[in-house]
Amino acid sequence: MGTEFLNIKEVDEAKKIIKDLFNELYPPKSDIVSIEDSYNHVIFKDIISSMDLPPFNRSLMDGFAVKAEDTFGANDEHPKILKCIDSIEAGSYSEKTIEKGECIEISTGAPIPDGADAVAMVEFTERGSAIDEENDIYILKSVAPNQDLALKGSDITKEKTLLKEKTVIGPDKIGVLAAQGIKEVEVYKKPRIAVISTGNELVLENEKNKNGNIEYGKIYDVNSYAITSGAISNGAIAENKGIVKDNYQKLKKQIKNSLEDFDIVICSGGTSAGVGDVLRHVLDEIGKVIMHGISVKPGKPTLVGKVNEKLVIGLPGNPVSALIIFYVFIVPNIRRLSGKGSENIEKTKAILAKRIHSPKGRIHYNLVQLKDGLAYPIVKDSGAITSLAHADGYIKISKTIELVDEGKEVEITLFR
C-alpha cells in the first residue's frame, strides 16, 4: 500500500475540481412526481395557472347575496326589506337571477348568483318572524358594491405564473397546486447517494456482547447516519449502506454494487495513508483517483475519484472532519443538482465569545455553538463526538490567520 497523498490541493482549487466534476457528470434533470410525493422537491420550470382563482365570484361570508343599491341607507331603525328567493350552499349554485328588491341566502364559498354584487353579512340581518314574512329579510346595515366578495380571478388569472422555477415545495405550495387541480408536477430530479462507512473498529448499534457492551476497541458508526441525513436535508435521496471492514475485495464489491443503483457513492474512512486505508487503491483499480488531499483543517485526507462516469467521494473517518468536509465541498453541489441552490445555504453572523488559535498555512473550519447572540468556539479533536452535540455550525478561518480575537464578528454556516 502507498503511504503518500497525491498532490495536495488548496481549498479553492479543490472546490473547483469537485464543482466541475458535478457539472460534467450530473447535468440537471427533471422528474415527474405526484403532488402527494412532491414535498421538499424543487420546481424545475415555471408552472402556469390553468384556470382563474377563484374560478367564479364567491361569497366570503355567510349572509345574503344582494344588489348593493338595495341596501343603501339601511340601519337598525330603518332597515331595508328584501325578499329571499333561494338559498345556496357551498358547492351548489342558483339558476335564479336577483332582481331589484330581492336577495338569495348564501354560504361562505358559494358562487354569487346573477344580479348580485355584494353580500350582507348574516350578523346584520334579521328574518321576518311571521309565517307570511319568513322570506322577508331585514337588512340592518348598508353594504358597498363588491363587499365580502372574492371576484373571479382576483387571486390569480388563467395563464399567469403560478409558481416559479426553483421554488421549494412545502405544504403551502402543495395547496396552491391542489387548488389548480394539478396532480403531477415537474421537479428537479434528486441525486441518489449511497453512503458507506469503512473501518475494522466500527460496529452497529445492535452489536453488543452478552453484558450489553460493545467489544473493547470498537466504536459505534457515526458517519453513515450523519452523512445520510445531511444529504437528505440538502435535497438528495440517500441510503445508508452500512459498514464495510478494511477489506479490499469487500469494499470494491460494495462500491461497484452501489454504483449500479446510485449516482454518487460517499465513503467515510479509508482515505488516509495508513496500512488499513484501502479506498484509494480500490479506485485505482476500478476507476480513477482525481484528487487525494486538501490543504485544510480538519479533513486533509479527502479523496475524489471517478468510476464509470460516476463520483466516489472519500471523507475522513473522524466524524467532525467528515461532516465539515461534506458541508464545505459536497453539499453546495448536491443543492445545485437538486435545484435548491448553493447560495441558499443558511448562514448567520455572531460575535466570537472566545479567541481561536488557528494553524497557519491551512484554511481552518472551526465548529461553534450559538448562544445569546455569541459564537462559542468548540476546541476539541476531530474525533470528539460531543463536538457535534454542541455544534450549530462552523466558521472559516483563512490560512494566513493564526489568531481570531474574542469580540470579532464572524460568519457561521449552519448545520440545517
What secondary structure does DSSP assign to 146-199, as a single string?
TTTEE-TTSSB-TTSEEE-TT-B--HHHHHHHHHTT--EEEEEPPPEEEEEEE-
- Asked whether the predicted pLDDT for residue 238 surpasses 90, the reply is yes
Grid coordinates representing 29 are 434533470
CA of residue 1 relative to chain centroid, distance: 42
Q: Tell me the pLDDT tens digit for each residue of 17-73.
A: 999 999 999 999 999 999 999 999 999 999 999 999 999 999 999 999 999 999 999
- Average pLDDT on 205-212 reads 68
Angle formed by the axes of helices 331-338 and 11-25, to 10°? 30
Instruction: Point out which residues pair with 185 in neighbouring strands.
Output: 33
**What domains, with CATH codes, occur in the chain?**
11-29+190-341 (3.40.980.10), 33-53+155-188 (3.90.105.10), 58-150 (2.170.190.11), 347-414 (2.40.340.10)
- The helix/strand/coil state of 228 is helix
- The helix/strand/coil state of 202 is strand
- 106-109-110-114 Cα dihedral, nearest 10 degrees: 90
CA dist., res. 304 & res. 299, Å (int): 13
CA dist., res. 345 & res. 175, Å (int): 25
pLDDT of residue 328: 95
Q: Tell me the pLDDT tens digit for each residue of 296-349.
A: 999 889 999 999 999 999 999 999 999 999 999 999 999 999 999 877 789 999
Give the chain's mean pLDDT: 92
pLDDT-derived band at 389 (thresholds 50, 70, 90) equals: confident
- The helix/strand/coil state of 84 is strand
Residue 405: other Cβ atoms inside 10 A: 9
Looking at the chain, the whole-number percentage of residues with pLDDT higher than 90 is 81
Looking at the chain, the whole-number percentage of residues with pLDDT higher than 70 is 94
pLDDT-derived band at 5 (thresholds 50, 70, 90) equals: low
pLDDT-derived band at 382 (thresholds 50, 70, 90) equals: low
pTM reported for the whole predicted model: 0.83
- Asked whether the predicted pLDDT for residue 161 surpasses 80, the reply is yes
